[in-house]
């Protein structure tokens, strides 16, 4: 190998702590979660330190929908490198045009314009700018516990947890409880430019709204002349069993944001798709919004292949077939561990297991790791364990994940194990607090 194994694990950790993030290293080392990804292929990643193979059920929020190093994606990128580079974002581009044509052919009806970006946060920033520019209004309504990225306007639309250290942020952002139509109806008004929601808020605990929720949200937006922005960064590209998660709710948004999985795990790509009339914002000044690396020609070739795979009937049928296997397996787990599991949340392979309290999220993340699964808890509802495997899973792999989840719950239910894990988290937090205070002097 040319790029893995140049440094020892200890050296990697040392350098990471010194030059990148000592706080992360403190946390991971203390809880025994200091995974360093080495070889990776399909649904598997390998820990550099132990050589253990681990099933990736985190998928970086959907980045690895098609698995690690999907050979179709790798192959098309290699071919593109023989002819292309990133191109020039100021100029007309064949690669960008081809991707846009195919993208809008798959998008919800009437969303016939698309711009490309290097990441989801940037795409959300653009969507909010577009809504404000078109409506000439300022208010943006988002959800408590939501997450749209760490960049400017995207951060302002997210939960207070992520933005409280950076106040003041851009004004005009208001939050409401996700799923609460009555609260939304009292908050939206004639000064509202847009309502932005994730189709299924992952960071909030894989919360799946009622079937008619988004139709009623859209009606409220239409009543007040606001735009509906749907964040499909995690739910898009087949995760819910349909190409776009919002298709499960029979609603066409005004703007739809896509990211993560559009990269194929190989080349950063994101997009914002919208109705053509909103392009009027840029008629007088075509360069009002630009992105140097957005819509890179190499990335466009990758994203085009991702869309071809993700939109195929065979691919989506497999997602739904595997989802049924998980549904049966989760129901059995809920029955067998009713003292710990309170709810199963699932739409396709967008899955969450809600436990009886917030200690169980970190506890199960560690127990899963010890059983060879990479799962993480939802940061804004720590009682929910996210289960987001690659969408290329086969039946035997799905059953193996369910078996390992069972073993992880059995492990986590042991009182001695609980005390050990919880104390390690506390120690890590204390160490980071001490390091923080030291940095002040």
pLDDT at 203: 95
pLDDT range class, residue 427, cuts 50, 70, 90: confident
Q: Is pLDDT at 26 greater than 80 in this prediction?
A: yes
pLDDT band (50, 70, 90) for residue 323: very high
User: What size, in residues, is the chain?
Assistant: 441
Q: Which of residues 441 and 258 earns the better pLDDT score? A: 258
Show the domains of the chain with their CATH numbers.
72-310 (3.40.640.10)
d(CA 240, CA 194): 25
Flag whether pLDDT at 18 surpasses 80: yes
Q: Is pLDDT of 10 > 90?
A: yes
CB under 8 Å to 122, separation ≥6 — which residues?
Answer: 149, 151, 154, 270, 291, 294
Phi, psi (degrees; rounded to nearest 5) at 176: -130, 160
User: What confidence tens digit (pLDDT) does each residue in 49-104 have?
Assistant: 999 999 999 999 999 999 999 999 999 999 999 999 999 999 999 999 999 999 99
Task: Name the helix (H) or strand (E) containing 54.
Answer: strand 53-56
Of the pLDDT bands very low, low, confident and very high (cuts 50, 70, 90), residue 440 is low
Strand partners, 61: none
Q: What is the pLDDT of residue 439?
A: 66
- Residues 145-164: what's their mean pLDDT? 90
- Confidence label for 426 from pLDDT (cuts 50, 70 and 90): confident
Give the pLDDT score at 164. Answer: 85
What does the pLDDT average to over 373-387? 97
List, in sequence order, every residue forming a beta bridge with 350; answer none if it has no partner: 347
Does the pLDDT of residue 438 top 70, yes or no? no
- What mean pLDDT value characterizes the chain? 95
Neighbouring-strand partners of residue 68: 42
pLDDT in tens, 239-281: 999 999 999 999 999 999 999 999 999 999 999 999 999 999 9
Q: Which of 25-29, 319-323, 373-377 has the lowest mean pLDDT?
A: 25-29
Token pair listed for 172? 């005009």
pLDDT surpassing 70 at residue 437: no
């Amino acid at each position: 190998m040319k790029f893995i194994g140049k440094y020892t694990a200890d050296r990697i950790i040392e350098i990471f702590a010194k030059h990148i993030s000592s706080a992360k290293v403190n946390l991971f080392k203390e809880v025994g979660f200091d995974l360093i990804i080495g070889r990776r292929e399909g649904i598997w990643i390998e820990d550099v330190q132990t050589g253990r193979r681990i099933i990736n059920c985190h998928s970086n929020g959907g980045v690895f929908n098609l698995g690690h190093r999907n050979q179709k994606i790798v192959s098309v990128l290699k071919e593109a490198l023989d002819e292309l580079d990133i191109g020039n974002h100021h100029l007309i581009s064949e690669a960008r045009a081809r991707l846009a044509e195919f993208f809008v052919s798959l998008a919800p009806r009437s969303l016939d314009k698309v711009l490309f970006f290097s990441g989801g946060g940037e795409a959300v920033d653009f969507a909010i700018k577009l809504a404000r520019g078109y409506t000439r209004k300022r208010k943006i309504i988002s959800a408590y516990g939501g997450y749209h990225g760490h960049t400017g306007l995207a951060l302002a639309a997210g939960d207070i947890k992520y933005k409280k250290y950076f106040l003041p942020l851009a004004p005009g952002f208001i939050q409401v409880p996700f799923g609460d139509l009555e609260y939304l109806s009292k908050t939206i008004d004639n000064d509202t430019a847009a309502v932005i929601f994730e189709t299924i808020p992952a960071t909030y605990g894989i919360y799946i709204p009622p079937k008619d929720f988004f139709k009623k949200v859209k009606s409220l937006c239409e009543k007040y002349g606001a735009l509906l922005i749907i964040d499909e960064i995690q739910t898009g590209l087949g995760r819910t069993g349909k190409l776009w998660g919002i298709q499960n709710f029979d609603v066409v948004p005004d703007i739809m944001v896509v990211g993560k999985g559009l990269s194929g795990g190989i080349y950063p790509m994101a997009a914002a798709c919208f109705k053509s009339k909103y392009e009027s914002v840029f008629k007088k000044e075509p360069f009002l919004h630009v992105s140097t690396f957005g819509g890179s020609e190499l990335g466009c070739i990758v994203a085009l292949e991702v869309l071809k795979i993700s939109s195929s009937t065979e691919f989506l049928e497999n997602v739904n077939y595997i989802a049924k296997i998980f549904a049966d397996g989760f129901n059995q787990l809920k029955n067998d561990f009713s003292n710990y599991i309170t709810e199963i949340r699932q739409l396709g392979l967008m899955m969450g297991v809600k436990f009886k309290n917030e200690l169980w999220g970190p506890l199960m993340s560690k127990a899963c790791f010890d059983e060879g699964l990479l799962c993480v808890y939802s940061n804004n509802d720590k009682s929910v364990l996210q289960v987001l495997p690659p969408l290329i899973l086969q039946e035997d792999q799905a059953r193996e994940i369910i078996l390992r989840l069972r073993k992880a719950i059995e492990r986590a239910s042991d009182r001695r194990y609980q005390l050990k894990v919880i104390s390690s988290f506390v120690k890590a937090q204390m160490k980071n607090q001490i390091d923080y205070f030291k940095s002040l002097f």
